[in-house]
Amino acid sequence: MSRRDFWSGDQVLYVNSRHRALYYADVGKEIAALISSPQALLLDYGCGEALAADFLAEKCGRLYLYDPIPKIETLLRTRNKANPKIAVLDRAGLEALPDSSLDLMMCNSVLQYLSREECSALVGYAAAKLKLGGRLVIADIIPPHVDALTDSWALVEFAYRSGFLLAALRGLLAAFFSRYRRVRGRMGLTTFAIPEMQRLLATRGFEARRLDRNIGHNQARMTFLAKRV
């Protein structure tokens, strides 16, 4: 089973609707803080359900959403069809974006589900589509030493602060016995040490640094900000 086939299935990523809403709201606010101007062109690559899309569209000139999973693309088109500042892209639309046109490209919680070759190709795509001085944000990168237990504890802390602790504990118990855990274990997740990520970005023409804070609740993971030079 490929990663694409796996994520095309029915995977449960959020323990309840509160978890889902808070996750997207928090991530949306952190992405919005990185938008450089009200005219900026932003691509959210691997955006998932993108529940903060309307909020982000208010902060930029145009918001492009892309997710490779067909059922997510369909959901995005239905949800965002009334907003003229949001364009939902398929693969052909993604490739058709003009070179050197984007001000910001966002990849949040994406690279861990790609092979290293796919990660390199994605960074190469960003280098082609971003303007000189444009920025690529790669968030939720997993360091090699961070394991599932660390991720689970980060969720527990987030749930405790946000008022859905019991649901989180039930969700973690269910995940332990789930198909997700078994398949994820077989596929593995792609991890990067800091020098590896900096080297990947540098070879594609980016100046990169790790941000002090990861986007999202899990501060054991990393976010890198890379400028095309």
Give the pLDDT score at 220.
94
Give the pLDDT score at 27.
94
Cβ(133)–Cβ(227) below 8 Å? yes
Domain locations in the chain? 3-228
DSSP assignment of the chain:
--HHHHHHS-----SSHHHHHHHHHHHHHHHHTT---TT-EEEEET-TT-TTHHHHHHHSSEEEEE-SSHHHHHHHHHHHTT-TTEEEE-HHHHHHSPTT-EEEEEEES-GGGS-HHHHHHHHHHHHHHEEEEEEEEEEEEPPTT--HHHHHHHHHHHHHHHT-HHHHHHHHHHHHTSHHHHHHHHH------HHHHHHHHHTTTEEEEE-SS-SSS-TTSEEEEEEE-
Give the pLDDT score at 12.
58
Q: Which residues in the chain come in under a pLDDT of 70?
A: 1-12, 176-187
The tens digit of pLDDT for each residue in 185-211 reads 545 799 999 999 999 999 999 999 999
Give the pLDDT score at 176.
62
Q: Residue 218 contacts by C-beta under 8 Å, 6 or more apart in sequence?
A: 140, 151, 154, 155, 158
Give the pLDDT score at 2.
47
Bridge partners for 138 per DSSP: 107, 224
Give the pLDDT score at 208.
97
Cβ(56)–Cβ(42) below 8 Å? yes
Q: The tokens of 124 are what?
A: 């190469």
At residue 205's C-alpha, the angle toward residues 204 and 208, to 5°, is 100
Task: Give the CATH number of domain 3-228.
Answer: 3.40.50.150
Short-list 77, 86, 91, 87, CA closest to 125: 91
Give the pLDDT score at 178.
57
The tens digit of pLDDT for each residue in 81-108 reads 999 999 999 999 999 999 999 999 999 9
**HSE toward the beta carbon, residue 95, CA cutoff 13 A:** 4
Short-list 79, 15, 19, 9, CA closest to 47: 79
